[in-house]
Every structure is written in structure tokens, then in C-alpha cells.
Amino acid sequence: MRTLLFLLSFATLATSSVAQDGLKIYISADMEGLTGVVTGEQLGPSGFEYDRFRQIMTDEVNATIEAAREAGATEFLVSDSHGNGQNLLIEQLPEDVMIVRSWPRELGMMHGIDESFDGVIFIGYHASTSNSAGVRAHTKSSANVTDLQLNGVHVSEGAWNAAIAGHFGVPVIMVSGGDAAVEEVMRVVGDMEGAVVKFNHGFHSATTLTPAAGLKVIRKKTRAAIDRIDDFEPFVLDGPPVVRLSLKHYQPVELLAYLRDVERVDSHSIRYEAGDMIDASMFIQFVLSYSVSITP
């Protein structure tokens, strides 16, 4: 009987979450895929609900940090990866967490990632511009980008960012967002935990969980991801990245093709063979951020 009890308690220990030790986690947080976001009203300083959704974004990041800590993570870097890059209410984050803010940055939504991290978590992510489903589906710039491909595959921001993490050998372990966004990231990148916080009906409509219920799903999936962190593979491309970018307007494409390394493949698209994902990221950041009239 004593042996049986011992075996039973051992089995319980083995199946309940076994705390991982000293993991370092990178969190990239966007807003379109937050619980409740359906239009621009939640997404920028001119929207009537923006302040409330800065709080919801902050709550979702804090819930991720808490759940990851419970499962054994000890170090965090958080990227404020939406709009002006100044959305998170940073005074509400734990004091041992660092935050990457504002733009431009060479690695965009992944700035600060390196080989020392054990896993990446995406919060509030959205579907790509080539996805016909998904709230606020776009890639990098809804005003200017109509398609982004890596080695012939349409990529969302999630897949693009997973490839940057993959360059450093770091896997994406969890993504939160609407159903279309989570499905798209997992389809291209592979196995990870997915926290679905809303179900889309169109570009500006979804049925959403309440913020409290969204936090529960995020906590649960974060814990599950850390518990089986050894299952996830870094997203590594076959060969050097070939970037194909399609823009809404004609003239940027015409001018980019003046550069010897850039090939114009049709009226609105360019192709760039990058050396690696760092180069690919810096190229895209440059193309989408540069203007000769930038000040100062």
C-alpha cells in the first residue's frame, strides 16, 4: 500500500507541471489580436477606446509573464510591437522586465532577440494581408504592403518574426490572437501553443471573449508552452531568405529597383536575396521606414 501511494504521488508529480529552470523568454506584443479588438478605435491615440486597450494589452503581457514565471521562466524582454511602439503601460510591468519601445529598430518587432533566449511568445498577433480572414489582417503596413513572401511562402508578421528568432536558434512557443491569426502562424511555422481570444467574422468584426476570459486562456496556454518547451523547433528557412514584397503604390517599387541588389518582378513587386534574416529584416525596416524628409 505504501509503495502504491508512493507510485501514485510520483505519478501526480510527473504529470503536473514540472517547473523548468531559469528560462529566458522574449515576448513580442501587438494589439490587433488582443481580446476585444475589432477596429481602429482600439488601436491608436485617436480611437475612443485606445486607453482601455493599452490596459488590456498590458494585462495580457503581465498574465503571460506571471504564467511563464509559475512554470519556471525567470528572465523576460518585452517588445512593444504595435503602432507607435509606446502602447504598454510600462509602470505596470514587473521591475525585473525590460521593454523595447518605439521605432525604427533593425529587428523590428523582434529587436533584442538573440541566442540567449529559450523561447518566444507572440501576444495580440493578427493575420497577414494575404489572408482573406482575420480582424485587421495586414502585414507590416496596412497602407503600403499588399504581400510579403519569404522563399515563396506568404508570411504573416508572426511567421516573419519566427524566422528572425529561428536565425538565433530560438523557437516560438506560443501565439495569442484571433482564430485566423493563430491558425496562420501555426500553419506556416509549425507546432506551438495557440491562445484563441476571438473568432473573426470579417476585417472589422469578431465574437470575442471578455478580457478576463482572454487572460485565462493566455495563462493556460503560456503554462502549457513552457511545460513542453523542449518540443518546439526553431523556424529555420531552407537556404538564404528570398524576400518578395508587393507594395500598394507604383513609384516606391520603381525607385527601389535602382538598387543593384533589388529586382523588380512586376509593376508593384520587388525581390531581394538577403544574406540572412538579419539582413532581410534590416532591408524591410529600411524600405518601410525611410523617407528623405525624416527629421531630425
CB of 124 to Zn ion, least distance (A): 7
Which CB, 43 or 174, lies closer to Zn ion? 43
C-alpha cell at 214: 482572454
Where does 172-257 have alpha helices with state H?
Answer: 179-189, 211-227, 250-256
Residue 131: other Cβ atoms inside 10 A:
18
Answer yes or no whether residue 244 interacts with Zn ion by CB under 5 A.
no
Answer yes or no whether residue 82 interacts with Zn ion by CB under 5 A.
yes
Which CB, 61 or 262, lies closer to Zn ion? 61
Size of the site for Zn ion (CB under 5 A): 4
By CB under 5 A, which span of 29-37, 171-179, 194-202, 265-273 interacts with Zn ion?
Answer: 29-37
Specify the 3-state DSSP secondary structure of 177.
Answer: strand
AA identity, residue 111: H
CB of 119 to Zn ion, least distance (A): 22
CB of 182 to Zn ion, least distance (A): 15
Residue 204: other Cβ atoms inside 10 A:
12
C-alpha cell at 75: 528572465
CB of 43 to Zn ion, least distance (A): 7
Which CB, 30 or 59, lies closer to Zn ion? 30
Answer yes or no whether residue 54 interacts with Zn ion by CB under 5 A.
no
CB of 82 to Zn ion, least distance (A): 4
Residue position matching grid coordinates 489580436: 33
Do residues 70 and 165 touch, judged by C-beta distance below 8 A? no
Where does 199-264 have alpha helices with state H?
Answer: 211-227, 250-256
Which CB, 31 or 274, lies closer to Zn ion? 31
By CB under 5 A, which span of 75-83, 164-172, 180-188, 227-235 interacts with Zn ion?
Answer: 75-83
Q: What are phi and psi for residue 75, nearest 5 degrees?
A: -130, 140
C-alpha cell at 124: 495580440
Residue 169: other Cβ atoms inside 10 A:
12
Candidates 26, 30, 243, 284; binder of Zn ion (CB under 5 A) is 30
Which CB, 109 or 226, lies closer to Zn ion? 109
Residues 6+ apart with CB under 8 A from 271: 242, 243, 244, 262, 263, 264, 265
AA identity, residue 106: E
Which CB, 82 or 244, lies closer to Zn ion? 82
User: Binding string to Zn ion for residues 177 to 196, with x set by CB under 5 A, is what?
Assistant: --------------------
Which CB, 32 or 279, lies closer to Zn ion? 32
- The residues binding Zn ion (CB under 5 A) are 30-32, 82
